[in-house]
Amino acid sequence: MDAMLTGIGTGLSTVAQPINLLMVMVGCFAGTFIGMLPGLGPISAIALMIPITYGFDPASGMILMAGVYYGAIFGGSTSSILINAPGVAGTVATSFDGYPLARQGHAGKALAIAAYASFSGGTIAAIFLLLAAPALASVALSFQSSDYFALMVLGLTAVAAFAGRGNFLKAMMMTVLGLMLSTIGSDPADGMPRFTFGRIDLLDGISFLLLAMATFALSEAIMTVLKREKIADSAKAAAKGHIGSLKLSRAEVKEIAPSIGRSSILGFFIGVLPGAGATIASFLAYGMERNVASSEKKKLFGKGSIRGLAAPETANNAAASGSFVPLLTLGIPGSGTTAVMLGALISYGVNPGPQLFVDRPEVFWSVIISMYIGNIVLLILNLPLIPYIARLLTIPSHLLVPLVLFFSLIGVYLVSFNTFDLYMMVAVAGLALILRLFDYPMAPMILGFILGDMMETNLRRALQINDGSLSFLWERPITLAIMLLTVVIVVLPLVGYFRERRALVRAGEGG
């Protein structure tokens, strides 16, 4: 305890230096606007920051990059809510209920909920990080391939959250399609090409950004053109500047508070696990909230549920903070973004690992303290800007649709500089449009695609360790506990469904 209090004091004195406070504000500001732009995620931003920070003190450089990281996660919700174009992978789930809320004339409220949820998730996670980082490092280290595979299977149970009534089979089919798409590219074990059809462009697989932008932003823009008469009223409301109130009623605060609490804890612990990350945390939080919701509240998910917006937005920010646990305490990057930050730390001559908070306490503790200050900066920065940001909806659809198409295509092109990706993006958008017209949900496909690669890799490792036996599913207590939880989550909705059917049959007999 004494060592921790000393470390906190060291972190506070380091962050309190004017140059480091400036780094927090610059990082948060830059990250927020980078997150809003489709295609320019935190990885690209942090990679660009590394040469800029070479002359800085390691603590100042890490504070700046940390600010860019959680600023981008924070800002990525804006484009998801307003134009259904997730700027960052971790905000895909935010669009499921955020975008419908904006279309209903509540863009201001949706952005405000996202801001409050992000702040709460980031703050709670920063406190957890402050109190338990060294202890949680040993928990993360104890996770093996079998545990990760079980966790991915648990993640797939969230598919029920994206299936409307009577559409569970369609959601499962889309999940399988996502799993199939994740196998395209080089085999992770022997490097042999799979399902590339002789195209060199497919050796690295399909880009997540390409798939997300094609299925959400591009297809939504085309749907807007096809259903122009249906959005006329909302367009007129937007043209008059009716973005809705930013204020939340006491009942709304009471409704989202438990969701924020649960999602903060879930998101943080998912973030602590190397390789899991903010995207998986947001999907799991969304699925969890739908599963615990009452039958009446469940109907609102996907149509503008405030709990469906608050949960993933809380979880992705909590996971962003949690991902610093394996980075700082074990030297293991928990995501692509923290992998770039690991390279930056090494370039500064700082070796992350168990000895970091002993050898360089000012770096370790200042990054953690800066997260809390950064969340306050982000809240102060974003809330006053919401009325102006939401004015994006006032742009007439005949101008907004070309802008969405432009930013989507340019965002994907800037990642790879490959025109093949543009052709593929248009093809995927066309297929997504056809599927949406037949009421097939897109979210399960994205979920399957995200989890597919990690599921395959960890399943292979687990089978190799167990000589091809499936006994790994029940031999380790952690794996067994996660699998049992998965079974419970799958069975409970079925029990509720059969109870409803029985009640209806009895009511019919009584009538």
Contacts of 266 (CB under 8 A, 6+ apart): 281, 284, 285, 288, 315, 318
CA pair distance 448, 159, nearest whole angstrom: 9
Task: Give residue 218's domain range.
Answer: 2-145+209-443
Q: How many domains does the chain have?
A: 1
Query: Distance (Å, rounded) from C-alpha 301 to C-alpha 287?
Result: 10
pLDDT at 240 over 70: no
Provide mean pLDDT across the span 71-94: 78
Q: Which residues pair with 193 in a beta bridge?
A: 186
Q: Is residue 492 part of a domain?
A: no
More confident residue, 217 or 193: 193
**Does residue 235 carry a pLDDT above 50?**
no
Instruction: Report in angstroms the alpha-carbon separations of 260 from 27, 320, 480.
Output: 25, 15, 28
The pLDDT value recorded for residue 237 is 45
pLDDT at 402: 82
pLDDT (0 to 100) of residue 195: 86
Which tokens go with 242?
Answer: 């009716």
Instruction: pLDDT band for 394, please (50, 70, 90 cuts).
Output: low
Residue 240 or 467, more confident = 467
Residue 140 forms part of a structural domain? yes
Sign of CA dihedral 421, 422, 424, 425: positive
What percent of the chain is modeled with pLDDT above 70? 84
pLDDT (mean) for 65-83: 81
Mean pLDDT of the chain: 79
Spatial separation of the C-alpha atoms in residues 336 and 88, rounded to whole Å: 12
Residue 418's CB is within 10 A of a number of other CB atoms, namely: 14
Strand (E) or helix (H) holding 194: strand 193-194
Is residue 52 in a domain? yes
Of 76 and 236, which is predicted with more confidence?
A: 76
For residue 31, is it within any domain? yes
Of 35-39, 54-58, 265-269, minimum mean pLDDT range: 35-39
Angle CA 324–330–331, to nearest 5: 75
What's the confidence (pLDDT) of residue 264? 92
Closest CA to 205 of 191, 223, 190: 191
- Given this model, what pLDDT does residue 314 score? 92
Closest CA to 75 of 336, 400, 382: 382
> Considering the domain boundaries, does residue 241 fall inside one?
yes
Q: What is the mean pLDDT of residues 495-504?
A: 73
Structure tokens at 261: 């609490």
**Residue 17 located in a structural domain:** yes
User: Which of residues 361 and 236 earns the better pLDDT score?
Assistant: 361
User: Mean pLDDT across the stretch 65-92?
Assistant: 79
Identify the pLDDT of residue 139.
66
Asked whether residue 382 is assigned to any structural domain, the reply reads yes
What pTM, to 2 d.p., does this model score?
A: 0.73
Average confidence (pLDDT) over 394-402: 72
In a domain, 27, yes or no: yes
Among 180-189, 206-215, 502-511, the range with the most confident prediction by mean pLDDT is 180-189
Under a CB-based contact definition with an 8 Å cutoff, are residues 157 and 287 in contact?
A: yes
Q: Which residue has the higher pLDDT, 160 or 285?
A: 285
CB atoms within 10 A of CB 476: 18
Return the percentage of the chain with pLDDT > 90, whole number.
4
